[in-house]
Each structure stands twice: as C-alpha cells, then as structure tokens.
Amino acid sequence: MQPGVLILVVGPSGAGKDTMLDAARRALAARPRFHFARRVITRPADAGGEDHESATEAEFATRAFALQWQAHGLRYGIPATIADELAGGRVVVANVSRTVLADAARRFPARAILVTAPAAVLADRLAGRGREAAAAIAARLARDVPLPPGLPVEIVLNDATPEIGAARFLAALSRAAAAGPPDRTAPPAPPG
C-alpha cells in the first residue's frame, strides 16, 4: 500500500483556492486515492463561498478535529477522520490556514500547495465578492503568515483564467501526491 500524505492548500483570500479545489475535486472524482476534506465552519451553509459543513459554536465545540483555527470571526476545522484516510494510504487534500501548517507538519506526513496571485488581482477579486469594505480588504492583504521551514511547498500562481489556474493547481497537486510523504530526516527543500 502506498503511504498517505496530507496536502495542505493555503493562500491569501482571493487567490482562488476554492475554485482550484472544486476543479481538482471534479477532475479526480474517479480516482479514489484522493480524498478532499470538507471543512466545518461556524458559518451558515447558505452564506456563500465554499461548500462546507455548517456548525454552531456549541456544535463546533463538541467535534473532534485534526486541525482547527479561528479567522475573520469564524471557527474552522478539519475533521479528525482524516487520520484514518491517511492510514489507509489516501492523499488527503485540505484547505487550511497558514497558521496551522507547522502543527500539521509535526503531526502528519504533510506537503503544502501555496496558491497566490499579484496583490492587485487579489484586491479586485475580494472587492468583487462584495462582502468587505476597502479597509477590510487592505487588512486581509497586509496579513502575512510565513510558511514553516522544512515543509515541502509547491507554489501555484493563479493570475490567469480559471482554466489555466486549475490546470496549474492540478499539476502541482499531482506532483505533491506522487512525491508522497516528505522524508523527515532529509534537510528541508526550498519552496517552489
């Protein structure tokens, strides 16, 4: 059996992570080795954005999570069941916050994909959502959380059409899955 690997998808708001993940989920639907973790979020299911499992604060507090974090007034969690998927040799793909990368890399055989775009593209995409004022968008774009050293990272520049971005993301996802779990005894590789 091939070893499992957790592929952590990160990037700034507006980078197109949800679009990329949706495209990859469709493209890999016939490949059972890939499992796309569904996030649990304390946001109503009909509030727009990604397809997620909605939970109240009280419900969230009773759940078992492999990873969890808070951002933008909401709580996010990746179900603890991903450990079983990894033990079964699956490639688990999860959209997470950069703030949990170091913890995830310590606890799981993990690699990361950083989806990014130029600041002007990010600002335009966030403004197009119509959810935040210009000051809130600027604050989101100013936030910088460094990637932890030693975590293998693929970088996907999403600055073109959704189709080109999805192809780039799928190629990075395929490379990360093929590479498998990182060798924790080897020196860290530079991102890219």
Q: In the chain, what are the domain boundaries? A: 5-37+90-179
pTM for this entry: 0.86
Compute the distance between CA of residue 13 and CA of residue 116 in angstroms, rounded to an integer: 9
DSSP state of 109: -
Q: Which tokens sit at 162?
A: 């959704």
Other Cβ atoms within 10 Å of 24 Cβ, number:
22
Instruction: Name the strand (E) or helix (H) holding 79.
Output: strand 74-79
Choose between 45 and 151: higher pLDDT. Answer: 151
Q: How confident is the model at residue 184 (pLDDT cuts 50, 70, 90)?
A: low
User: In angstroms, how far apart are the furthest CA atoms of the chain?
Assistant: 50
Q: Which tokens sit at 134?
A: 């210009």
Instruction: Name the strand (E) or helix (H) holding 19.
Output: helix 17-27
Angle separating helix axes 119-129 and 134-142, nearest 10 degrees? 140
Which residues, in sequence order, are bridge partners of residue 75? Answer: 70
Position 58 scores a pLDDT of 94
Angle separating helix axes 17-27 and 162-179, nearest 10 degrees? 70
Which CATH homologous superfamily contains domain 5-37+90-179?
A: P-loop containing nucleotide triphosphate hydrolases (3.40.50.300)
Note the pLDDT tens digit of each residue in 131-174.
777 777 677 676 777 788 889 999 999 999 999 999 999 999 99
